[in-house]
Amino acid sequence: MTYTIEEISTRLYAAVISDALDSLGYRNQSPNVHFPITTMPEKIVGRCKTTLWADIFHEDPAPYELELQAVDSCMPGDVLIAAAGGSQRSGIWGELLSTAARNRGCVGAIVDGQIRDLAKMRDLGFPVRARGTNIYDSKNRQMVINVDVPVEIGTVVVSPGDLVFCDEDGIVVVPQEIEQEVIRRAMEKVNAENISRDEIKMGAKAGDVYKKYGVL
């Protein structure tokens, strides 16, 4: 059975997807870095649109060129991934890029770096997760050096088109080649968890329920 992004977003959460990945031997799919800044509490679920960033120390002859190209080529359901290696050199994402991305159907951004314009992005209703905030403009400080290529966040390789799921527990990335099996297993576990929770509420011992259903 193939599930839509909307069904996945409604029924699943990051931790259960991580558990499903664990069961398939994929034990390193959640970045080992912290993203404490969020513009909106909503989940971010969609397809990865990747951008690779670098710090620069010269005058950029074509400022913003590739980042604008990336935003303008977003498709509905994309999540913009800004892989900047946690750089604190500038705020690489803000209100205008959020507005442009949302207009293209992008459903959120995950920034392995710093952002700015938090209040305006909140007013816009565009969900962004980031490592921190920085008042400086990215011009002549950071630039996109490639688009739609595999990137790394923490120790996780993120490829264009991978499914990414972000909520209050964290971020998890599902490689496309195993996506359907991961979602199937996650759905099965959610169903088993619901049954287990109901039986525990009715007085069953947690250990007995675990023996019966094998989920915790």
**Has 96 been labeled as part of a binding site?**
yes
**Has 97 been labeled as part of a binding site?**
yes
**Has 116 been labeled as part of a binding site?**
yes
The Cα–Cα gap between 161 and 207 comes to: 40
Q: Are 17 and 180 in contact (CB under 8 A)?
A: no
**Has 7 been labeled as part of a binding site?**
no
- Detail the residues annotated as belonging to a binding site: 94-97, 116-117
- Detail the residues annotated as belonging to a binding site for substrate: 94-97, 116
- Detail the residues annotated as belonging to a binding site for Mg(2+): 117
